[in-house]
Amino acid sequence: MMARSLNNRIKTAFFSALLVLAVAYPVLGLKLTTVGIKLEVHGASPAMLWTIAAAAIGMFLWQLLRDRLDGPLSSLPSLPGLPASASSFLTLPSTQRWIILGLIVVGLAWPFFGSRGAVDIATLILIYVMLGLGLNIVVGLAGLLDLGYVGFYAVGAYSYALLSHYYGLGFWTCLPIAGALAALFGFLLGFPVLRLRGDYLAIVTLGFGEIIRILLRNMTELTGGPNGISNIDKPTLFGLSFERRAAEGMQTFHEYFGIAYNGINKVIFLYLVALLLVLLTLFVINRLLRMPIGRAWEALREDEIACRALGMNPTIIKLSAFTLGATFAGFAGSFFAARQGLVTPESFTFIESAIILAIVVLGGMGSQLGIILAAVVMILLPELMREFSEYRMLMFGALMVLMMIWRPQGLLPMQRPHLELKP
Amino acid sequence: MSRPILEVSGLTMRFGGLLAVNNVALTVQPKQVVSMIGPNGAGKTTVFNCLTGFYQPTGGVILLDDEPIHNLPGHKIARKGVVRTFQNVRLFKEMTAVENLLVAQHRHLNTNFLSGLLKTPDFRRSEKAAMEYAAHWLEQVNLTEVANRPAGTLAYGQQRRLEIARCMMTRPRVLMLDEPAAGLNPRETEDLKALIGMLRDKHDVTVLLIEHDMHLVMSISDHIYVINQGTPLADGTPEQIRNNPDVIKAYLGEA
């Protein structure tokens, strides 16, 4: 018995080591160098080869001895750096409200002192916060796995881009239209699809996201195909443009207030618009949690059969989550188009859906503060790790794995605002 | 006799080659407690599932107040006032007891999106009324002290009572209880009996009961149906059933 399990372990360890070699050698051990116009394959430096060998041996030993190592390892604290009481304090709804209030004040004030690049990245983060919050309605609250969320994002972005391009409509007019169109798509997709559950739903939504992207790429006459639509107008402040020169019949911000033109004004304004949209999203979701529909979503996530037995229509309830989630993606999309000034189908690939879903899961399903934090981590980290160049995605992946080991419930798991019966 | 509230005839449910329910007929008068008994696997729960729309019966007619309901989906039947509990308790475990009761009132609340978003007076009023109704029923089933605890952490007997209270939130006309006394101690069973009697007498609810606890069934039922292997075996008052030789044979085997 003992001998056989040892035998098994040696086998596992051997194959694990082999796997390390098989993966690491082609990736790290071979180098492509351009010689003139040709590519040549060279072996890497001996140091690198030794490192690979050491990694393989390390893996072999680890697999061989992991049973014996597991004991002492599992006695280590499972949650480094954050004691349980602090963590539960952080996830209380009342605490979260104060933290969010503080964040709003800081969020409103800091861009006036920050650098242009920082404000720009912050705007990008806010877009993802909005997307994360929207998807959170579908995944975190209603428990429906949606892998095609980026489809609604694309609908929102292209709604604004097309309306602006063909009809010259402004951002603020198009924002509600984009939200409504995305909601319509959510409704239309949800209607037939929400009878499915779990994996099946995930696959259909995944397909939907891809269909939208491919449609956008192939309807060349309307959407410009792979080139997308460019020169989309930026948002205005009550008709005041932030460009250096206003279009005909419009006034610019700096002329109206009699200040010198400064490019950063536009960046800050975009940031503030994004912040406004995020706050709106937060407000709506906060209300939803305390509304009958919010309770119905949670009940449905827990037990669909019991819901049906109580006279609730599961399809309608799911559909409302799906439609609302899509609406926020539509808002985020139209803002994205306005900020970027350019939309192409390649901005809406599956990886975007995956990142948004990762934000929701990383933040702790259903938790709003968690999602804000996760969006900051997910967007900021790759930016900060730029100096590690090609290793940054590797580090990013490692970080995600560690997260799932240490905090599988997410950074700040949700604590729902419970309705209390007061005596 | 008054008009029956629920009338079932020729109910048949077939799963492939298995005939789970064969030609079952029930007549339930308003404000009665009607029990369905039979050995394990007799098809009682299948009858419940057919009545509440969880299964589409293969054949037969189900009339609620002379209106056919056998082709309706489950949630529509529930909205017509036929509500059930489950053999294995199905509460929303992560939600508190009072929230369980609020969810069940979904249909009767102001679910308008905008009024909820803006917290209009009408919305507040509706929420407040729901809370009061829930509190009232928590008191009825003696769960007020545990109102704010997650339902999953309640004792088993409390969960059973909470499930019944949750059904009452939907203002049902026919309440179907699937083995409500299973897993209860004798004391809790007595409480349950009092509760069912109270529902019938004070709240005008018709109760359809599946139960194995013969003491409970015999003492509370107005009418009893016996089902064996999917087929109706006998029906009558508790007294008639107690003395029916077929029923004794089905339960105890051939003498």
Sequence-ordered alpha helix ranges (H) in A168-262: 171-193, 198-218, 220-223, 253-257
Q: Would the CB atoms of A299 and B119 count as touching at under 8 Å?
A: no
- In this predicted structure, what is the pLDDT of residue A221? 86
Question: Between B54, B105, B148, which is nearest A420 by CB?
Answer: B148
Q: Which of A378, A285, A363, A291 is nearest to A324 (CA)?
A: A285
Residue B81: closest CA among chain A residues belongs to which residue? A311
Residue A88's pLDDT band (cuts 50, 70, 90) = low
Lowest mean pLDDT among A27-36, A73-82, A360-369, B221-230: A73-82
CA of B53 to nearest chain A CA: how many angstroms apart?
Answer: 9
Query: Which residues, at least 6 apart from A277, have a Cβ–Cβ distance to it below 8 Å?
Result: A126, A130, A331, A332, A335
Answer whether A179's CB lies under 8 Å from A358's CB: no
Partnered with residue A64 across adjacent β-strands are: none
Query: Is pLDDT at A36 greater than 80 in this prediction?
Result: no
Helix (H) or strand (E) holding B226: strand B223-228
Q: CA B153, CA B155: separation in Å to the nearest integer?
A: 7
Q: What percent of chain A has pLDDT over 90?
A: 24
Place of tokens 């993802």: A128
Q: What mean pLDDT is predicted for residues A30-52?
A: 76
**Model confidence at A79, in pLDDT bands (50, 70, 90)?**
very low
- Give the pLDDT confidence score for residue A416 in this predicted structure: 66
The average pLDDT across A161-166 equals 90
B78: chain A residues, CB-CB within 8 Å? 308-311
Q: Pick the residue with more confidence: A300 or A82?
A: A300
Residue B229 vs residues A140, B38, B251: alpha-carbon distances, Å: 44, 8, 12
In sequence order, the 6+-apart residues with CB closer than 8 A to the CB of A345 are A154, A213, A214, A216, A217, A223, A225, A226, A228
Note the pLDDT tens digit of each residue in B156-191.
989 999 999 999 999 999 999 999 998 889 999 999
Query: Taking CB atoms and an 8 Å limit, are B94 and A299 in contact across chains?
Result: no
For A299-353, how does the pLDDT look when each residue is reduced to its tens digit (9 = 90+)?
Answer: 998 898 999 999 999 889 999 999 999 999 999 999 999 998 889 999 898 888 8
Check whether A181 has a pLDDT greater than 90.
yes
| Nearest residue of chain B to residue A281 (CA atoms) | B117
| Residue-averaged pLDDT of chain A | 82
pLDDT in tens, B61-104: 999 988 999 888 889 999 999 999 998 889 999 899 999 999 98
Q: Cα separation of A319 and A193, whole Å?
A: 9
B residues 133-162 closer than 8 Å to A (CB): 134-135, 138, 144, 147-148
CA pair distance A211, A350, nearest whole angstrom: 11
Which chain A residues touch B144 with a CB distance below 8 Å?
A: 421, 423
Taking the Cβ of residue A199 and every Cβ of chain B, the question of whether any pair is shorter than 8 Å is answered with no
Residues in a beta bridge with B176: B84, B208
Q: Does the structure show a pLDDT above 80 at A92?
A: no
Q: Is residue B86 within 8 angstroms of chain A, CB to CB?
A: yes
Tokens of residue A321, six digits? 């989550």
Cα A237 off chain centre by: 28
* pLDDT at residue A22 in the model: 81
Put simply, the answer to whether A287 touches B116 (Cβ < 8 Å) is: yes
Average pLDDT, rounded, for chain B: 88
Model confidence band, residue A1 (pLDDT cutoffs 50, 70, 90): very low
Between A109 and A407, residue with greater pLDDT: A109
Concatenate the DSSP letters of all residues of A298-342 into one string.
Answer: HHHHH-HHHHHHTT--HHHHHHHHHHHHHHHHHHHHHHHHHHHSE
Adjacency order of strands within the sheet including B82-84:
B82-84, B174-178, B206-210, B33-37, B223-228, B231-236
Q: At B126, is the secondary structure helix, strand, or coil?
A: helix
Which of A310, A317, A320, A415 best probes binding to B when mutated, by most B CB atoms within 10 angstroms?
Answer: A310
Domain boundaries, chain B: 6-81+172-252, 92-155
Higher-confidence position of A242 and A16: A16
- Among A287, A301, A420, A421, pick the best mutation site for testing chain B contact (most B Cβ within 10 A): A421
Is the Cβ of B203 closer than 8 Å to some Cβ of chain A?
no
A37: its two tokens: 């116009």
CB-based contact, A291 to chain B, within 8 Å: yes
Whether the pLDDT of residue A263 is over 90: the answer is: no
- The residue that leads in pLDDT, A383 or B18, is B18
Distance CA A20, CA B178 (A): 57
Nearest Cα residue in chain B from A295: B103
Contact B34, B208 (CB under 8 A): yes
One-character DSSP codes across A135-148: HHIIIIIS----S-
How far apart are the CA of B178 and the nearest CA of chain A, in angstroms?
Answer: 13
Chain-chain contact of A292 with B75 (C-beta, under 8 angstroms): no
Return the residue in B82, B85, B92, B144 with the most chain A beta carbons within 10 A, the one to mutate for interface testing: B92
What would the CATH number be for the domain defined by B6-81+172-252?
A: 3.40.50.300
Judged by average pLDDT, the poorest of A30-39, A320-329, A357-366, B191-200 is A30-39
* pLDDT value at residue A400: 74
Return the residue of B nearest to A299 by Cα.
B92
A292 and B110 in contact by Cβ < 8 A? yes
Checking if the pLDDT of A4 tops 60, the result is: no
The minimal CB distance from B99 to the residues A305, A310, A418 is found for A418
pLDDT exceeds 90 at position B206: yes
- Per-residue pLDDT tens over the stretch B112-139: 777 878 888 888 888 888 899 999 999 9
Cβ-based contacts of B145 with chain A (< 8 Å)? none
CB B138 within 8 A of CB A421: yes
User: Is A302–B95 a contact, with Cβ atoms under 8 angstroms apart?
Assistant: yes
* Cross-chain residue pair B83–A311, CB shorter than 8 Å: yes
- How does pLDDT run across A209-219, given as a tens digit for each residue? 999 999 999 98
Q: Which of B12, B33, B37 is nearest to B234 (CA)?
A: B37
Read off the pLDDT of residues B45-54 as tens digits, 9 standing for 90 and up: 999 999 998 8
Q: Which of B111, B134, B169 sits opposite A292 (nearest CB)?
A: B111
Q: What is the number of H-type helices and E-type strands within chain A?
A: 17, 6
Torsion (CA) A380, A384, A385, A389 in degrees, nearest 10: 110
What is the rounded end-to-end Cα distance, in angstroms, of chain B?
Answer: 38
